[in-house]
Chains A and B, each alone.
Chain A
Amino acid sequence: MSNSRQGATQQPQPAGKLFQFKLVLLGESAVGKSSLVLRFVKDQFDDFRESTIGAAFLTQTICLDDATTVKFEIWDTAGQERYKSLAPMYYRNANCAVVVYDITQSSSLDKAKSWVKELQRQADPNIVIALAGNKSDLSARRVVETEEAQAYADEAGLLFFETSAKTATNVNELFTSIAKKMPLDMLANPRPRGTGLNARGVDLNRDSKEVGCAC
């Protein structure tokens, strides 16, 4: 059994370097957070999907080049944001965040903006944030203009993509550009930020060491 929670931990791999990051999804209910993850991780889409039960915690790996692999440990909200009940634990130690809105719901962009604010206030100051305007396939019902969201993203220093979990448009691009924006150089040393189980903590799953009686 391996340990489970690592921050930006680098492990030497035969194929080059592997960087692992915690990525959180945020955004109003039904904007397509889980759908984006499903598309990214399993390349699937479901028109009538319900909240993922039992596995709102997935990993996916991106090879940036022969020498660099980025592994995202993806946290989905599991619906806890629905009644404003997301736990601080959720975005603690997040290295990157995808804040999602629905281009057919203008209120969802307002909500996305408030999440960005919250992250900038509470999360790691070095967090990489991407804004995703999802459901771009529904262009007939679009109410949020691309330029408007782009201007906001530029101003707030966010990556920005309009995506469709349904058609897969820009989904890989979104995650790849996050991977590219991660400060990998800064993480050249193992356990650069002192986060992660290996760096500081004990692994409860590890078998106990046998030590004689203390007294």
Chain B
Amino acid sequence: MDEQYDVIVMGTGLTECILSGLLSIEGKKVLHMDRNDYYGGESASLNLSQLFKKFRDGEAPTANLGKDRDYNVDLIPKFMMANGELVKILTHTDVTRYLEFKLVAGSYVYREGKIAKVPATEMEAVRSPLMGLFEKRRAKKFFEYVQTYRQEDPTTHQGMDMAITPMDAVYKHFALEAGTIDFIGHALALHLEDSYLSRPALETFERITLYMSSMARWGKSPYLYPLYGLGELPQGFARLSAIYGGTYMLDKPVDEIVYEDGKVVGVRSGSETAKCTQVICDPSYAPDKVHKVARVIRAICLLRGPIPNTDGVDSFQLIIPQNQVQRQNDIYIAGVSASHNVCDKDHYLAIVSTVIETENPQQEIEPGLALLGPIVDKFVSIVDICEPVHNGTKDQVFVSKSYDATSHFETVCDDVKDLYKRITGNDLVLKQRLTQEEEQKEMAGQ
């Protein structure tokens, strides 16, 4: 370990692994460590013994849950937007060659005490109970406007500039009902709360467009999910990094970040010190460099089968918009099952999560838990969502953000790009990596 590296990365969460891979490709000498003996940090997927070790103080897993190796339980509830940034990063780096993906089967929204499907096709939209006939016509006009609107082309604006018009004024313009507004803002634009209403509409337009283009890409739902759990994503990027020369050390306690004249010079683990000129880490490796911006509660629930009223689908997202349960933040439920190789055939996994608003967070997720049917077992965590205090350019220690309460990886990708820029001084430009076949041809030609 006592060697000189360009970059030492601590924590093998998705953000860190993507950066590690990108920097290794560029020829940087990277040492990547994790205090845990598994990959993924906060974005890991755990088998049963790891899950029980983390949540039950090393207790042995309950016997009737099945085989350890059948389980890959995610710690964070997130899906990939089919047309989102993560998919772009995956295809450009060709990390897709290590992974398999499945579509999430359905997207649902809670409305007036019932679960309704977010329409995935024109047909479903026509039949959907979410809106009355006239409201459907108004909504159609609204969506047509969103789809044709181009900020750079004033002929599409119809007299409104979305860069300045607040979103609630746009809703008013199209005379949409409160329930429709809830649906658009929370189930399509995926806003977690309502502060967006007073912000310029462009942001929401972009979110709606992302949702719809993702939905249009494969049908059924806008989400993709990697077989064997989200933990496969950091593992895939770690492999990319390793192939380009990155060194990996798991189960490696980190004792100290070493500085000289205010700049990082290395990382100490026990009596060994690895030298470097830059450090990238997740908040848990630099607790003194981050501050808390929110708290999130997540309840990982083991179920017997699909949750009621979701057509028996093998995977879903269910959003409970805040207004529906008199809250400020939405409650999200993400469900996956054996067809994603995340649990055994007799079980089903759901994570209920929300941003904490009160002194009694367990109580806050009750409306979500109540929709799941019988719960076999439940693993609850309350986590601080942290952000770095400084941008890292001064001491060259770059700290990532915690995984937030959003249901997808878009903000993770924003953080990756932002960190990349601060670390290298350049914008991240994704170059298409050669595919396996091309790579081999190139080698043969040498």
Contacts and interface: CB of A to CB of B under 8 A. Distances in A.
Contact of B212 (A59, A196, A205, A214): A214
A197 B100 contact: yes
B interface, size bucket: 35 or more
B247 interface: yes
Contacts of B97: 4-5, 57
A15 interface: no
Contact of B216 (A58, A90, A202, A208): A208
Given A78-B239, A208-B217, A92 B228 contact: yes
Given A4-B436, A54-B439, A202-B102, A83 B249 contact: yes
Best-buried of A201, A202, A204, A211 by chain B (most CB within 10 Å): A204
16 contacts: A2-B437, A5-B100, A42-B443, A57-B436, A79-B247, A83-B248, A89-B228, A89-B236, A89-B239, A200-B339, A202-B102, A208-B217, A211-B121, A213-B147, A214-B125, A214-B216
A57 B437 CA distance: 10
B73 interface: no
Residue from B83, B96, B100, B122 whose CB has the most chain A CB atoms within 10 Å: B100
Nearest to B443: A55
A83 B87 CA distance: 30
Given A5-B100, A202-B101, A215 B439 contact: no
A80 B235 CA distance: 11
A82 B246 CA distance: 12
B232 interface: yes
A54 to B, nearest CB: 6
Given A200-B100, A201-B102, A215 B125 contact: yes
Contacts of B125: 214-215
Given A79-B247, A87-B235, A204 B87 contact: yes
Contact of A54 (B143, B243, B252): B243
Contacts of B250: 83-85
A15 B107 CA distance: 45
A55 to B, nearest CB: 5
Interface of B: 39, 69, 82-83, 87, 90-91, 94, 96-103, 119-122, 124-125, 139-140, 143-144, 147, 188, 212-213, 215-219, 224, 227-228, 232, 235-236, 238-239, 242-245, 247-252, 339, 435-437, 439-440, 443-444
A106 B218 CA distance: 53
A212 interface: yes
A144 to B, nearest CB: 28
A5 to B, nearest CB: 6
Contacts of A140: none
A5 B140 CA distance: 41
B223 to A, nearest CB: 11
Nearest to A211: B216
B247 A83 contact: yes
A155 interface: no
A47 interface: no
A80 B97 CA distance: 18
Given A54-B243, A85-B248, A213-B216, A201 B100 contact: yes
Interface in A1-19: 1-2, 4-5
A147 B120 CA distance: 64
A55 B251 CA distance: 27
A210 B212 CA distance: 11
Contact of A89 (B119, B144, B232, B435): B232
B437 A53 contact: no
A209 B122 CA distance: 15
A56 B249 CA distance: 19
A122 B100 contact: no
A88 B235 contact: yes
Sorted nearest first, the 3 A-B pairs with minimum C-beta distance are A4-B97, A85-B248, A78-B242
Interface of A: 1-2, 4-5, 42, 51-59, 78-80, 82-85, 87-90, 92, 121-122, 196-197, 200-205, 208-215
A53 B216 contact: no
B420 to A, nearest CB: 20
Contacts of A56: 242-243
Contacts of A4: 94, 96-97, 435-436
Contacts of B247: 79, 82-83
Contacts of A42: 443-444
B90 A204 contact: yes
A42 B440 CA distance: 10
Given A85-B250, A92-B228, A5 B98 contact: yes
A90 B250 CA distance: 15
A37 to B, nearest CB: 12
A80 B238 contact: yes
Contacts of A214: 119-122, 124-125, 212, 215-216
Contacts of A87: 39, 235, 238-239
